[in-house]
Amino acid sequence: MDFDRYDHIRPIRWHDGMLSLLDQRKLPFTVQYLDCRSSHEVSQAIRDLVVRGAPAIGIAAAFGVVLAADGVDAATGAAAMQAMEPRIVELNAARPTAVNLMWAIARMRGVLATAGANWRYAIESEATAIEREDLAANRHMGELGANLISPGSGVLTHCNTGSLATAGFGTALGVIRAGVAMDRIQRVYAGETRPWLQGARLTVWELREDGIPATLIADAAGAHLMKTGVVQWLIVGADRICANGDTANKIGTYAHAISARHHGVKVMVVAPASTVDMATARGEDIHIEERDGAELLSMSGVRTVADGVSAFNPVFDVTPAGLIDALVTERGVIEHPDGEKMAAMFGPVSRA
């Protein structure tokens, strides 16, 4: 299937020894890349949401490790890794929930541990491979997921899981791109995703850029759409999928999944195997990131809440495996995921 027509945006560019990141704080009205020349700048960009979305964070961190080698003089990868350690630790801690970050750093460490004198070349090749593999996985998942959807369907998505959140094409949004290209999806709805507005500022922008008509809804309108039969699938991404299939994703996903089950709407989670964390047994064990409550107290820099009011801002929630109808990764589709099916596909991997 040729999906090129619907795939133009690239948020991460590695060139001339620096990492250019499409600054997602400024979209949709300013399209501007921020150049990172040090691993510290990459860590900061991840923390500040210049780059965001689980797979994109992992890819950026991998190139961050390449930048962490700056000024390091070492004869082997292992010696270089020792010198780079504080910078690698800073990258690893940039955000806590998306496991793709730790996965990518672990992969880069693995290369450093065994590389000889050519360690610089080895880590740059590895970061490039992580990016290339992510794009290929997304294209494959797109087709696998779209095949589950009956022609004429309406779909609802949450947050931004598109090209902006990955090497390109996207995970849940990749399924939507493929579903539109394959004439299976007729209506696309995207929730705003309060408070950072990944849906309103990013998802509908990137779909419009790629010529896919999408309709924005308030997050609270999701249940109404399901009740009135407008959507047949909720399609979302993931930041961490546990050994029992429990899945962390953007805050609000859990509420949509409960509504979906109540109304007979199916739930599809789409994520590469790099989002699967077999070392975390269940959702309760996931560290849920909390961001500054200030994100809730104003809009576009204008305070909307009375002075003296505080806010609680957890930015992810966990959808229990029991609410998921299909988990799509590049390795295949698991219907109604549970511990046994997860272990059969991903093995008892440990990240210790």
Instruction: Give the binding range for ligand MRU (CB under 6 A) out of 11-19, 34-42, 160-168, 328-336.
Output: 160-168
Residue 64 touches ligand MRU, criterion: CB under 6 A: no
The yes or no reply on residue 159 touching ligand MRU (CB under 6 A) is: yes
Q: Binding string, 259-288, against ligand MRU, x = CB under 6 A?
A: ------------------------------
Residue in 244, 230, 235 with CA at minimum distance from that of residue 268: 235
What dihedral angle (degrees, nearest 10) is formed by the CA atoms of 38, 30, 171, 67? -10
The count of residues interacting with ligand MRU (CB under 6 A) is 17
Of these residues, 23, 210, 239, 325, which one is catalytic? Answer: 239
Chain positions 293 to 332 lying near ligand MRU, rule: CB under 6 A, are 315
Q: Is 52 in the site for ligand MRU (CB under 6 A)?
A: yes
CB atoms within 10 A of CB 314: 11
How far apart are the C-alpha atoms of 146 and 178, rounded to whole Å?
Answer: 6
Alpha carbons within 13 A on the beta-carbon side of 332: 8
Catalytic annotation present for 239: yes
Instruction: Kindly state the smallest distance separating residue 315's Cβ from ligand MRU, in Å.
Output: 5
| DSSP per position, 38-52 | SHHHHHHHHHTTSS-
Question: Closest distance between ligand MRU and the C-beta of residue 341, in Å?
Answer: 21
In three-state secondary structure terms, 175 is helix
Residue from 43, 92, 153, 161 binding ligand MRU (CB under 6 A): 161
For residue 140, how many C-alpha atoms fall within 13 Å in the half-sphere facing its CB? 15
Of 19, 65, 68, 98, which lies in the binding site for ligand MRU, with binding defined by CB under 6 A? 98
**Residue 157 backbone phi and psi in degrees, to 5:** -125, 165
Nearer to ligand MRU, 90 or 317 (CB): 317
Q: Judging by beta carbons within 10 Å of its beta carbon (0-12, 13-18, 19+), is residue 120 exposed, middle or buried?
A: middle
By CB under 6 A, is residue 53 in contact with ligand MRU?
yes
Using CB under 6 A as the criterion, which residues of the chain lie in contact with ligand MRU when the complex forms? 52-55, 98, 159, 161, 165-166, 171, 198, 237-239, 249-250, 315
Tell me which residues are annotated as active site: 239
